[in-house]
Structure 1
Amino acid sequence: MNVPATDDLAALRKERFIIIILAAIQVAHILDFVIMMPLGPQFMRVFNISPVEFSTLVSAYTFSAGIVGFFGALYADHFDRKKFLLFNFSGFIIGTFMCAISPNFGALLAARIIAGAFGGILNASVLSLVSDLIPYQRRGAAMGVVMSAFSISSILGVPTGLFIANAFDWHGAFYFICIIGLIFWIAAYFVLPSVKIKTEPRSFKSNLMNFKSILIQKDYIQAFTLTSTLGFGIFMIVPFISTYLVRNAGLPEDKLPLIYLVGGICTIITARTVGKLCDRIGSFAVFKVVALISIVPIFLLTNLPTSPLWIILIVSSLFTMMGSARFIPAMTLVSAVVKPEERGTFMSLENASRQLSSGLASQGAGLILGSTAAGALTHYNIVGVVGVVTSIIAIFIALRIKNKFNLR
């Protein structure tokens, strides 16, 4: 009678190790992306670039991730998941190293494109492994842990990266990411199990036909639209948070690490709680509440006047908490839509569509925003309106997915 309980305990322990490693990989590649935002004021000063040019630097990563992820989906289900992940993790580390040694704006832009090409598929590989290895009844909590990587990056990575960048220069922040990336690569090699997908070898033509059949499935398109809508709304705002807080809200530049530290601590607690609630009361119910609540900090942040530090910390932390919390129930809902044998292709396409929408949002925000003679950003409230509208649209899309698949 005790054997099943012992086996279950061993299986749960193994799941925890897997989730920790996958979360660590997420920390590395998310840190590589989010470190760009707090370094925004420094990049704009060092390279003497405008908000539009900085948004190009940010969106280059997401556009590259989206385009390469789209084509990478052709073969995502034809390789051992672990080997596919390690290959893309290696390319990501190389791309980040190229960022570290970039001598100028043009070289950094090219390096961001390379890092994004591998980073996007890496993200899809991580989410595929979560769905492959964790049963649906525990998947919400697992997604909460893996997606709390953003919080961990904010708590530990961004302040450390900024400290290194301030002590030396921005190159040092990317060297730091390369080092932790190598450590996590070694851990993944020894801890993650192989996940071989049982698919018949196909010619390029038949592969293309299978890809097309997945791409045009109505249910899949609806799932892609949900996460893309969320990505678009949030990335109209995120790339310029640091610049807006420094130039408009009066935050001293040396206090930027506090924004990520406090926001990250709050978010890591929220992410775990939201993940468990998804398993307990249903992903849609949680998503609807969190998406509606997120409207408040979106409005407050994008209309924030010159304020004391404590108000800036509260508003920015609420925005980070609610913005990231929405993706946990959303990804749990989305993971229930796909067939297991199509999961790699599906996740690659989902990631590609989300990255492309995020890139378009960042670029679009750069075109909307302007600056005064004193350097303050203008029209930030307009991108906030977009964030509010997309939150409401996403709720209706999630409702349709919930009803179609009889999910909670």
Structure 2
Amino acid sequence: MTQPSTTKQKIFSSYEVFIIAVLTFLQFTIILDFMVLSPLGAILMPKLHITTAQFGMVVSGYAISAGLSGLLAAGFADKFDRKKMLLFFYAGFIAGTAFCALAQDYYALLLARIFTGIFGGVIGSISFAIITDLFKLEVRGRVMGFVQMAFAGSQVLGIPIGFYLANKWDWHLPFVLIVVVSLIVGVLIVMYMRPVDSHLHNKIQRNALKHLFQTVTRSEYAKAFAATTLLATGGFMLMPFGSAFSINNLGLSADVLPALYLVTGIFSMGTGPFIGKLTDSIGKYKVFVLGSVLTSVLVAYYCNLGVTPFWLVTLISVLMFAGVSSRMIASSALISAVPDPQDRGAFMSVNSSVQQISGGIATFVAGLIVVQSPDGKLERYGALGWVVIGATALTVFLMYFLNQYVMQKAASAPPKPTVVEATPQEVAPSIE
């Protein structure tokens, strides 16, 4: 009688674990570089003698340049080894962040942020193209779950540390810290990441402009871009006014906000991998719908609150971020399956640009909806919440058709060759 094997099948090889880890840390540096500037506003404006409008230009300069560079790079994104593309743009991002650390006046900082955005705005799309190339759709939710931890990690570790360094010593130090961490990540990529060039086997005869045009005009891709636009609309509308709403409407003091962000971020880091695993086990669209329902219910409640105890605000924030994370992880995994292999780089670049630009527009529109009364309270925040809920419902509708397309595409794909099962001695160490 044959004894059952006691060796547990590993999901990821040791090399795949390395790829997940290095891309997570890479995303951490990119997100932190973007997010750390907002809390530094209170320090930067008096230090550089700039107005709120000028500071807003510094923040938006990154997003606008990132969105435009993504569109310009899209036509070339599938013509090169993705590792080389990643290193080229990451080197530019590190140089731009170093320029931020050296800036001594408003114009130097503005130019440095624009330069950083030109390179940093493309890196996310290249990273997601690499994930799509290297990981099967069946496990891609787990991968996205780990990579999305970078958002929570920047909130838990990066922003408090960066703000502490700026407040204690100098506002340049957070950018110095990002440069140091980025250099370490870059060296690891150079030394250990293998070439990612399987897409080059699919010969592309189109020139860059034709490749870009055919990518943005293909109907299935256009639906994905529309879904990304609505996803960004929901997220960017509430986020910029969150701290002002917490203080002026919910009655929290500014001193407890770091604790609120810390607790929310820790829970987000803990739930990310679990949500990723759930998307692979029960279905990406199902998790997206569940996350959308949870987010909508909590947004409707939260945006109409008055003075609220800290513990209740924290609980709502944790649950709301769980819903948002479910939407982000599930949608990222599902949308990654839409493009054909020869279009992945261009598709991801355009998708990233759409996200950046639509997020900037959403923030502007939200500023037109919400007004601040003389006593400091934000009015029409509840109306803003209903706009977010409406965008969420439309996204669920669009994602249904994308899910149907991905399922049909998977069903019509030729069967993959059988892989010979490795012996217990050949199984590389991995994470579950």
Give the TM-score normalised by structure 2: 0.85
1:377-408 deviations in whole A, cap 9, x for unaligned? 44433332221111111100011111233279
**Distance of 2:51 and 2:300 partners within structure 1:** 27
Instruction: Please state how far the C-alpha of 1:138 moved relative to its aligned partner.
Output: 1.0
> In structure 2, do the counterparts of structure 1 residues 257 and 191 end up closer, same or farther at CA, with 3 Å as the change threshold?
farther
Matches for 1:9-158 after TM superposition, within 5 Å: 12-42=13-43, 49-50=51-52, 55-158=56-159
> In structure 2, do the counterparts of structure 1 residues 208 and 339 end up closer, same or farther at CA, with 3 Å as the change threshold?
same
Asked if the contact 2:66/2:121 (under 8 Å) is kept, the reply is yes
Residue in 2 aligned with 1:191?
A: 192
> In structure 2, do the counterparts of structure 1 residues 370 and 48 end up closer, same or farther at CA, with 3 Å as the change threshold?
farther
Residue in 2 aligned with 1:335?
A: 336
> In structure 2, do the counterparts of structure 1 residues 188 and 250 end up closer, same or farther at CA, with 3 Å as the change threshold?
farther
Unaligned residue ranges in structure 2 (runs of 5+): 1-5, 411-432
> In structure 2, do the counterparts of structure 1 residues 37 and 320 end up closer, same or farther at CA, with 3 Å as the change threshold?
farther
Instruction: Please state how far the C-alpha of 1:70 moved relative to its aligned partner.
Output: 0.5
Residue in 2 aligned with 1:388?
A: 389
Instruction: Please state how far the C-alpha of 1:72 moved relative to its aligned partner.
Output: 0.5
Partner AA of 1:86 in structure 2: L
Partner AA of 1:218 in structure 2: S
Residue in 2 aligned with 1:211?
A: 212
1:125-172 deviations in whole A, cap 9, x for unaligned? 111111111111111101111112111112211221122222224332
Residue in 2 aligned with 1:276?
A: 277
1:225-267 deviations in whole A, cap 9, x for unaligned? 1122101111011123234334443443343332322111111
Instruction: Please state how far the C-alpha of 1:105 moved relative to its aligned partner.
Output: 4.2
Unaligned residue ranges in structure 1 (runs of 5+): none
Residue in 1 aligned with 2:428?
A: none
**2:173 corresponds to 1:165:** no
Instruction: Please state how far the C-alpha of 1:376 moved relative to its aligned partner.
Output: 4.6
Asked if the contact 1:21/1:191 (under 8 Å) is kept, the reply is no
**2:414 corresponds to 1:406:** no
CA root-mean-square deviation: 2.9
Local SS of the residue matching 1:38: helix
After TM superposition, the structure 1 stretch with the greater mean CA deviation from structure 2, 253-262 or 77-86, is: 253-262
After TM superposition, the structure 1 stretch with the greater mean CA deviation from structure 2, 121-130 or 252-261, is: 252-261
Partner AA of 1:405 in structure 2: V
Asked if the contact 1:140/1:332 (under 8 Å) is kept, the reply is yes
**Distance of 2:56 and 2:400 partners within structure 1:** 33
Instruction: Please state how far the C-alpha of 1:319 moved relative to its aligned partner.
Output: 2.9
> In structure 2, do the counterparts of structure 1 residues 286 and 15 end up closer, same or farther at CA, with 3 Å as the change threshold?
same
**Distance of 1:356 and 1:256 partners within structure 2:** 28
Partner AA of 2:142 in structure 1: A
> In structure 2, do the counterparts of structure 1 residues 299 and 44 end up closer, same or farther at CA, with 3 Å as the change threshold?
farther
Instruction: Please state how far the C-alpha of 1:86 moved relative to its aligned partner.
Output: 1.1
> In structure 2, do the counterparts of structure 1 residues 259 and 88 end up closer, same or farther at CA, with 3 Å as the change threshold?
farther
> In structure 2, do the counterparts of structure 1 residues 11 and 388 end up closer, same or farther at CA, with 3 Å as the change threshold?
closer
Instruction: Please state how far the C-alpha of 1:217 moved relative to its aligned partner.
Output: 0.5
Local SS of the residue matching 1:405: helix
**Distance of 1:329 and 1:212 partners within structure 2:** 27
Larger Rg: 2
Asked if the contact 1:37/1:239 (under 8 Å) is kept, the reply is no
**Distance of 2:56 and 2:288 partners within structure 1:** 29
1:191-220 deviations in whole A, cap 9, x for unaligned? 2211124268878x7332222112110000
Partner AA of 2:33 in structure 1: D
Asked if the contact 1:76/1:348 (under 8 Å) is kept, the reply is yes
Matches for 1:249-398 after TM superposition, within 5 Å: 249-373=250-374, 375-398=376-399
Partner AA of 2:337 in structure 1: A
Instruction: Please state how far the C-alpha of 1:64 moved relative to its aligned partner.
Output: 1.6
**Distance of 1:392 and 1:12 partners within structure 2:** 38
> In structure 2, do the counterparts of structure 1 residues 106 and 314 end up closer, same or farther at CA, with 3 Å as the change threshold?
farther
Partner AA of 1:241 in structure 2: G
**Distance of 1:238 and 1:100 partners within structure 2:** 26
Asked if the contact 1:250/1:307 (under 8 Å) is kept, the reply is yes
Instruction: Please state how far the C-alpha of 1:73 moved relative to its aligned partner.
Output: 0.4
> In structure 2, do the counterparts of structure 1 residues 35 and 381 end up closer, same or farther at CA, with 3 Å as the change threshold?
farther
> In structure 2, do the counterparts of structure 1 residues 239 and 17 end up closer, same or farther at CA, with 3 Å as the change threshold?
same
Partner AA of 1:198 in structure 2: L
Instruction: Please state how far the C-alpha of 1:40 moved relative to its aligned partner.
Output: 4.8
> In structure 2, do the counterparts of structure 1 residues 32 and 297 end up closer, same or farther at CA, with 3 Å as the change threshold?
farther
After TM superposition, the structure 1 stretch with the greater mean CA deviation from structure 2, 247-256 or 311-320, is: 247-256
